[in-house]
Structure 1
Amino acid sequence: MSLLVAKGLSKQFNGLLAVDDVSLDIPQGQVRALIGPNGAGKTTLVGLLSGRLPSSGGKISFDGRDVTGLSAHKRIAMGMAYTFQITSIFPNLPVWENVALGARRVFRSATEADRKVEAALSRVGLLDRASEDAGDLSYGHQRLLEIAMGLAQAPKLLILDEPTQGLADGEVAAFNNLIGELRATTTVLLIEHNMDVVMQVADFVTVLNAGQVLFEGTPEEVQASAAVQAAYLGGEHAEA
């Protein structure tokens, strides 16, 4: 069953097509990776999917409903959570409050919201730092905090934009394990430059190049594709 379907999406900036006739079909429970060289249109595409950017054309359906004209806020309420490429935490608020802000938008019961906050922080390994100001965390831990902010909303779809950027090797391994655990309950759309992460966690990969879908397939098929290698891989597990 498809959770997110995009048909013919496009986005134009001052005459430049940043996203050009892109279609996606992401089944429920899948971990989908979105990869491509810098400037391929990845972040613009997820901006369209999440409602943070209006599209210039095309249609988006989420959980069986046409959401093309809906705001990002309404898509969040439907079960879509998005973490940014650049951290969007509130540095002067405690870690707990950063996560609680999102949970309270979704859950009216304070008890239920607190339960979700605790579970999310535990999942990313930050529960013991819940009372610290978010700005005192390392950059890698701030990235994990942002993931917790998304998880606390109990999303049907979690969109992660470069989540392993700035993480140490041990943190990357913990992230890979986390994605493996999420499979049972959450569909994940992952923008990622680290091809080792993509190979380990993704069920299916969409490759963008110059705003268009260049290739789709399993991680192994993507790795073996001459078209993908010519576009940007340049060798086994090379960084995009």
Structure 2
Amino acid sequence: MSDVILSTKGLSKSFDGLRANHDIDFELYRHEVHALIGPNGAGKTTFVSMLIGRLRPTSGVMTFEGRDVTGLGAAARVKAGMAYTFQITSVFAKLSCHENVALAARRLGGDVEAEVASALERVGLGGRAEEIAGDLSYGHQRLLEIAMGLAQRPALLILDEPTQGLAESEIAGFKALIRALAAETTILLIEHNMSVVMELADRITVLNFGEVLAQGSPEEIHHSSAVQSAYLGTGGDDAED
């Protein structure tokens, strides 16, 4: 595995004395597909919100591309090379698919039209550039969000529940897209579809009650008695995740 692109040391977050995340040590390697999963009460949303700068940690340190970014806000982290499907790539319902992606691509400058065409084509929306985003199905709006992220050529692409709302045939296309993207960017995948996780992830981090329960390869996670116990004991994911 190549070098570390993002790491956290002792990252913690409390709300009015209630501990949401505690002492999370996490490493993300360049060009890997890393899945973040967890059962009910796992705290994934809080953790990812700290990664993208929406929440400031109560304690701990985060580095990205070798730089301490703990104190940076969301906009600065986008500029540093992070893309997040719900932060940067909010769909503008009244604009066309082309216009949505163009808004994201203009951050980079360069040949915006080429970037837009390429991004839409890669997610399977190449023939729908002029369709109004709000008229797309929920699943296709998720793909449009990914296209908006790709148009910014991020060093790190964080995808939160990207297969939600996709048909089985579209999930197959999504898997192929992620495999292709891994050659050019790093991907953090927050996903409930365990078949997608097990098939795509190089490594998996499991959160439980705000702490790291396990980290390892898909095979190691699959055979972890601690992970099995956590999932069987709670039976699902929570509303905040």
TM-score (norm 1): 0.93
Query: Which residue of structure 2 lines up, in the alignment, with residue 22 of structure 1?
Result: 24
Query: Which residue of structure 1 lines up, in the alignment, with residue 127 of structure 2?
Result: 128
Q: Partner letter of residue 206 of structure 1?
A: T
Query: Which residue of structure 2 lines up, in the alignment, with residue 163 of structure 1?
Result: 162
Q: For each residue in 1:73-111, what CA deviation from the matched residue of structure 2 results, as whole angstroms up to 9, or x when unmatched?
A: 1111111000129x8311001111111111112x123x2
Query: Which residue of structure 2 lines up, in the alignment, with residue 53 of structure 1?
Result: 55
Q: How much does 1:156 deviate?
A: 0.5
Structure 1 residue 216 and structure 2 residue 218: aligned? Answer: no
Distance in 2 separating the partners of 1:53 and 1:133: 32
SS of 2:176's partner is: helix
Q: For each residue in 1:132-173, what CA deviation from the matched residue of structure 2 results, as whole angstroms up to 9, or x when unmatched?
A: 110000111011111111111000100011111111101111
Query: Which residue of structure 1 lines up, in the alignment, with residue 99 of structure 2?
Result: 97
SS of 1:193's partner is: coil
Residue pair 2:94, 2:134 contacting (<8 A) in 1 also = yes
Distance in 1 separating the partners of 2:40 and 2:97: 31
Query: Which residue of structure 2 lines up, in the alignment, with residue 34 of structure 1?
Result: 36
Query: Which residue of structure 2 lines up, in the alignment, with residue 195 of structure 1?
Result: 194
Query: Which residue of structure 1 lines up, in the alignment, with residue 10 of structure 2?
Result: 8
Q: How much does 1:209 deviate?
A: 0.2
Q: Partner letter of residue 172 of structure 1?
A: I
Residue pair 1:43, 1:161 contacting (<8 A) in 2 also = no
Q: Identity rate of aligned residues, in percent?
A: 61
Equivalent pairs counted in the alignment come to 233
- After TM superposition, the structure 1 = structure 2 runs for residues 145-164 of structure 1, keeping only pairs within 5 Å, are 145-164=144-163
Residue pair 1:10, 1:20 contacting (<8 A) in 2 also = yes
Structure 1 residue 186 and structure 2 residue 193: aligned? Answer: no
Alignment CA distance shift 1:193-1:233 (3 Å): farther
Q: Which structure 2 segments of 5+ residues have no match?
A: none
Distance in 2 separating the partners of 1:184 and 1:65: 23
Residue pair 1:120, 1:148 contacting (<8 A) in 2 also = yes
Query: Which residue of structure 1 lines up, in the alignment, with residue 227 of structure 2?
Result: 228
Distance in 2 separating the partners of 1:233 and 1:191: 19
Residue pair 1:59, 1:66 contacting (<8 A) in 2 also = yes
Distance in 2 separating the partners of 1:239 and 1:90: 31
SS of 2:106's partner is: helix
TM-score (norm 2): 0.93
Distance in 2 separating the partners of 1:11 and 1:153: 29
Distance in 2 separating the partners of 1:239 and 1:158: 25
Distance in 2 separating the partners of 1:38 and 1:3: 28
Q: Which structure 1 segments of 5+ residues have no match?
A: none
Q: CA RMSD in A?
A: 1.6
Structure 1 residue 117 and structure 2 residue 116: aligned? Answer: yes
Distance in 2 separating the partners of 1:19 and 1:29: 26
Distance in 2 separating the partners of 1:223 and 1:60: 28
Residue pair 1:208, 1:214 contacting (<8 A) in 2 also = yes
